[in-house]
């Protein structure tokens, strides 16, 4: 088990300090990252919390998954690593349509 936890279904009023306080009751919090929307600067409704040990992370999951914070029932589980090779957007970030002149050989008349 990892030390890093995903926390979802957060109220937009919840702060990193609120998360720090809630999780500190179950162990030492080494990092609290509330994800923010780049365009609006508002919280996105989820965060990542890093506990000091896997045992403390498991204890926090058991205590806080489904617990109410700021009027919302939290979803707390082990954070999964980012998918490799994915660039977001469309599929795996590959390709685009064909087109273009002279692709793989002469396609323009007279040449």
**pLDDT digits over 14-32, tens only?**
999 999 999 999 999 999 9
Decide if pLDDT at 70 tops 50.
yes
**Triad 7, 56, 53: Cα angle to 5°:** 105
63 - beta bridge partners? none
From residue 1, give the alpha-carbon distance in Å to each of 55, 56, 78, 87.
8, 10, 7, 26
Q: What are the residues whose beta carbons fall under 8 Å from the beta carbon of 74, sequence distance 6 or more?
A: 7, 8, 9, 10, 64, 65, 66, 67, 68
31-44: per-residue pLDDT in tens? 999 999 999 999 99
pTM confidence score: 0.73
Give me the percent of the chain exceeding a pLDDT of 70. Answer: 76
């Amino acid at each position: 088990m990892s030390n890093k936890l995903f926390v979802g279904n957060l109220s937009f009023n919840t702060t990193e300090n609120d998360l720090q306080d809630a999780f500190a009751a179950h162990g030492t919090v080494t990092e609290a990252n509330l994800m923010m929307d780049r365009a609006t600067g508002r919280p996105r409704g989820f965060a990542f919390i890093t506990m000091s040990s896997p045992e403390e992370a498991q204890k926090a999951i058991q205590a806080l998954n489904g617990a109410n914070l700021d009027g919302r029932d939290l979803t707390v589980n082990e954070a999964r690593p980012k998918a490799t090779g994915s660039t977001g957007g469309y599929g795996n970030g590959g390709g685009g349509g064909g087109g273009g002149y002279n692709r793989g050989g002469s396609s323009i008349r007279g040449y």
